[in-house]
Amino acid sequence: MILTSSEIIAQLEQRLAEQISAAALAEWAFATFYAIEQGELTVMEAEAAHIAEALDALMFADDARFALDEAGLRQLLARLQSP
């Protein structure tokens, strides 16, 4: 299975719409990162850097010290949406 930026974008949009909590987003990001590390998910080379950056920024969002605020989430979203 291939992970794309659009899947991360969907998660960010859900968080911004308050449909999921910061903890749920962090749990998803950690599980996704782990699945990539275990070879259960792959990423396209062209998106690898953006995906790694996004997952790294989101994995610890359940801790308020590391959670991105709305502006940070929107910046991350914009980076993922840019070519």
Structure tokens given for 36: 């990539």
Mean of per-residue pLDDT scores for the chain: 94
Mode of pairing for the β-strands spanning 42-43 and 2-3: parallel
Q: Which of 11-20, 32-41, 55-64, 70-79 has the lowest average pLDDT?
A: 55-64
pLDDT tens string 38-74: 999 999 999 999 999 999 999 988 888 888 999 999 9
Question: Does position 83 have pLDDT exceeding 80, yes or no?
Answer: no
pTM over 0.75, yes/no: yes
Alpha helical stretches, state H, 22-69: 22-37, 48-58
Task: Give Cβ neighbours of residue 28 (< 8 Å, ≥ 6 apart).
Answer: 11, 20, 58
Percent of the chain residues topping a pLDDT of 90: 87
